[in-house]
Homo-oligomer: A and B are copies of this chain.
């Protein structure tokens, strides 16, 4: 592989002049976010299927999938053809295109709890709209979220509160995911002021083992909302269409009043949605929301194609099958080199952590070693299997893992914790191994 690391370095130097050195999430996490392993890729100039190429000419099998949107493969032919057909007609104009109605119909047919839809761009838009609707609907104020759960970066939900006022997070309280007693206590504490109960589709917090919702917890969420009149809101932004061809909580037999979607629904085109049941229609009718690009037609055309692929193909079963291969293969290889992994969550959306690694030094070192071998993993959040991956990709990944574990075993005594991870760990680590 012909590579030229100077391209990355040159762009980084230019970027440092024209961007502030903040933690800028997925935008230039690799520029300024030292929680990523050093030496990883910084800028990408090509993507296709399950693969990414960085500006230095290095090729990666991408298990981050654009932090979720890449469900079917970058540049999926059917999605791109649908987008191209719409683009030839119109995209952002002075009003909606017919695809807006078609997509809303298809979503309400696909998602069993949904009777209506509102569209936006990012996940934070969708969770903010859902909260607005819940408060408009109930006339109440309190919102409950699980401790450590991510619902976006708006003031009411952001995990990083520098610049945010305490008032902007007023009437927010927390419970523990899957802990019925803590949920009941939080609901009781809300008295008659409970507007909304947010739940992630499953527990996929950073630096944390993943957990599926227990049926008992999910049913209790529904019962408590029915009793209090609060709206039950499933945040399916990260998990949507990764575990089910319906809202993820259909797997535990519970229907929310609202669900929030983004990421996979348009395979990379910017789109998010709030799906609602008729029980929440009144609130939705009262709330005012608007933005210039929310009616953009091309992402909606792309989403219609995504829903067709979801319905007509075995994309889901394929990612589950590959996920089992990956999980089993990683466990075997880790053990062969004297490591024990804690792989949690759905196999197609695994979080891969090392046991007995409280400061995450092995997680970081393993991720860095995989990166050097052309496998884009993440150290402390879930990764994704996309439908464009093949058994050969998993085999290549496991081969790389073999080398990475061997390297770790050799350097075991000298691996240091990453300084920022150590710092952050003290503040936010909620690991439960």
A400 at the interface (CB under 8 A from B): no
A98 contacts B45, CB within 8 Å? yes
Q: List, sorted by A's number, 18 A–B pairs whose CB atoms are closer than 8 Å.
A: A20-B118, A20-B284, A23-B288, A25-B288, A25-B291, A26-B95, A26-B294, A27-B96, A43-B100, A46-B89, A121-B121, A122-B292, A123-B291, A131-B163, A156-B168, A159-B288, A165-B171, A168-B170
Q: Which residues of B sit under 8 angstroms from A156, Cβ to Cβ?
A: 155, 168
- Closest-by-CB residue of B relative to A293 is B270
From B21, B69, B98, B288, give the contact of A292 (CB < 8 A).
Answer: B69
Given A116-B20, A164-B132, decide whether A292 and B47 contact each other with a Cβ distance below 8 A.
no
Interface 1/0 per residue, A340-381 and B, CB below 8 Å:
000000000000000000000000000000000000100000
B163 contacts A22, CB within 8 Å? no
B98 contacts A55, CB within 8 Å? yes
A97 contacts B65, CB within 8 Å? no
Partner-binding segment picked from A101-109, A242-250, A308-316, A390-398: A101-109
Q: Which residues of B sit under 8 angstroms from A270, Cβ to Cβ?
A: 92, 121, 270, 292-293, 296
Partner-binding segment picked from A10-18, A177-185, A324-332: A10-18
A94 contacts B135, CB within 8 Å? no
A335 at the interface (CB under 8 A from B): no
**Interface positions of A (Cβ within 8 A of B):** 11, 14-15, 17-31, 41-47, 52, 54-55, 62, 64-70, 74, 89-98, 100-101, 104-105, 107-108, 115-119, 121-125, 128, 131-137, 141, 152-156, 158-160, 162-165, 167-168, 170-171, 262-263, 268-270, 276, 281, 283-296, 376
A119 contacts B27, CB within 8 Å? yes
